[in-house]
Amino acid sequence: MAKGFNRGGFGMGGGGGMNMNMIKQAQKMQQDMMKMQEELASKTYTAAAGGGVVSAEVNGQHQLLSVTIDPEAVDPEDVEMLQDLVVAAVNEAMRQAESDAANSMKSLTGGLNLPF
């Protein structure tokens, strides 16, 4: 057996104060994350496509809340264009929500690349 191998194991002896400090920091981060998630869930993100003739609104939970279509965007001869505009507006609103969540997480974790 190597010298000093069995001296209390990981986290035992001597470092108790540091472990408690780390636990407190982790608990605070968890509370901050919960608060941030609640704030993000209550936010809304709106994006438009086609010069504003189609707009979509999503919330921070990535749920589509509304789609607004200007009557001038409705052309029975070009339904595909309208479909593309709806998809573009929804995707951009979702991207805004995701970007805001990522930026909030980055500010909370201090830029650490944590897997959540």
Q: Cβ–Cβ contacts within 10 Å for residue 30, how many? A: 10
How many structural domains is the chain composed of?
A: 1
CATH number reported for the structural domain that contains residue 50 in this entry = 3.30.1310.10
pTM: 0.67
Q: Cβ–Cβ contacts within 10 Å for residue 97, how many? A: 21
3-class state of residue 43 by DSSP: coil
**What range does the domain containing 69 cover?**
36-103
Domain membership of residue 71 (yes or no) is yes
d(CA 66, CA 54): 11
pLDDT in tens, 10-23: 554 555 556 888 88
pLDDT in tens, 71-109: 999 999 999 999 999 999 999 999 999 999 888 888 877
Give the model's pLDDT for residue 4.
53
Domain membership of residue 66 (yes or no) is yes
Give the mean pLDDT of 20-30: 84
Q: What is the DSSP letter of 75?
A: -
Q: Greater confidence, 34 or 53?
A: 53
- Say if CB 64 and CB 73 are below 8 A apart: no
What residues contact residue 49 under an 8 Å CB cut-off, 6+ apart? 55, 85, 86, 88, 89, 92
